[in-house]
Amino acid sequence: ASLHIATKASKKKATKAQKLAKKKSIVTTQAKKGVGVRYRSGGVSRKGWDCSGLVSYVYKKAGVKPKNGRWSTSTLKKDKRFKKTSKPQKGDVVYQGKGHMGIYMGKKKGKHVMVSARNPRAGTTSHPVYNWNKGKVSFYTLKA
């Protein structure tokens, strides 16, 4: 009987892992689709967004909604659905220095890459994860 219970628990964990993988897949797909969207301070839609607006938008599409309509670079860190990680995976949130965030897209040609809404001139681009602000880069992943 205890073996049967353990099997059910394993199936539940696998289901949670599958749901998490699906959410991260949606996040990365939406982030890729967002490349080229214009930068708009305070924006949270494909009509225009800033860095936190992009993160809020792509996670909302994956069913993870910010409590107040959008995250800021400080409020997402406090959201209990996320945890800091030293082993980022595609779809995780990247913090570069103070006040800038984006979506981690994995490694390409030996460089860690992210998508972020950079500034009014550049808009939303895919670019290397720069070690801004003296290498202060951190990653946050969605909990299963």
pLDDT, tens only, 74-98: 888 889 999 999 899 999 999 987 7
Which residue bears the tokens 């220095």? 97
pLDDT in tens, 30-70: 999 999 999 999 999 999 999 999 999 999 999 999 887 78
Residues in the chain, total = 144
The pTM (predicted TM-score) of the whole model is 0.86
Range 75-79, long-range pairs (CB < 8 A, 24+ positions): 76/52, 76/101, 76/140, 77/140
- Which residues are within 8 A (CB) of 96 and not within 5 positions of it... i.e. 6 or more apart? 102, 129, 130, 131, 132, 133, 136, 137
Phi, psi angles (nearest 5°) of residue 85? -140, 150
